[in-house]
Amino acid sequence: MTATETIKTGVIHKPRLSKRALIGGGAALAVLVVMALDTTVVRIGSEQDARVAAFSPDAYGAETFPRVRSFVMDKAVPVAELVAALEADKVAAGEKYGSGGMMPVIPVTFSGVVGEGKGGIFDVVVPEAPGVRIRVQTGPAINGTDPRDAPGDIAFGQFKNQIEFQDAGSGLNRAMKAEVLDGLDQASLPGKTMTVTGVFKLISPKMWLVTPVAVTVQ
């Protein structure tokens, strides 16, 4: 029967799908079903949306800094007490007052006369700490992650990776700077009395680089 005769008789022969095509089509359908079952619809602004959003160091810093500041203010050791403890036993003093193992971060409070500064870091002569060089960071750059590490409960495992963990420290530093140091007239500091509550990493008992969480200048 010719193609013309097939049409005239009203009989249309549809091409048959091969077995391979049927199997392929079924597999594709199965994949689509699995994808649909594995897809979660996240509504913008919902709690799930917040979880999948990119990590914001500045948002983290603004949210976390008040708790860090409260911790440091509550735990800050008077400078004379800390100096005596460090002279008696550096390791024991670090374990008693600090957080973080071999180089603990210690909260401290002191008052002293501001000396010359360089790059926003000022020496402060503290009468209760003879022989100890105390320097205070005032910005614009705030180095280290001491505010992040001071409470002892902000851990790497709480973040996606090392970059986020480091960025969390930077975000806290920026939040501290905005809250504590912005507006501080650095040029007028030398010769004035500064009262500081802050934290420093115990590397040497005779040299401290303090990151403040509270500053007053007289």
| Dist CA 55 CA 18 (whole Å) | 51
| Nearest one of 169, 198, 168, 162 to 181, comparing CA atoms | 198
Full DSSP string of 42-84: --TTSHHHHHHSPP-HHHHHHHHHHHHHHHHHHHPEEHHHHHH
pLDDT digits (tens, 9 = 90+) for 130-188: 999 999 999 999 999 999 999 999 999 999 999 999 999 999 999 999 999 998 999 99
Residue 107 has pLDDT above 60, yes or no: yes
Residue 193 has pLDDT above 80, yes or no: yes
Is 17 inside a domain boundary? no
| Dist CA 101 CA 94 (whole Å) | 8
Is 122 inside a domain boundary? yes
Residue 115 has pLDDT above 90, yes or no: yes
Is 52 inside a domain boundary? no
Is 173 inside a domain boundary? yes
pLDDT digits (tens, 9 = 90+) for 22-79: 455 555 555 444 454 554 454 555 555 444 469 999 999 999 999 999 999 999 999 9
pLDDT for the residue 11: 47
* pTM for the predicted model, two decimal places: 0.75
Length of the chain: 218
Is 8 inside a domain boundary? no
Count up the domains in the chain and report the number: 1
Return the SS3 of 205: coil
Tokens at residue 16, please? 């048959």
Q: List the domain range (segments joined by +) for residue 102.
A: 60-217
CATH code of residue 107: 2.40.50
Tokens at residue 60, please? 């983290």
Is 145 inside a domain boundary? yes
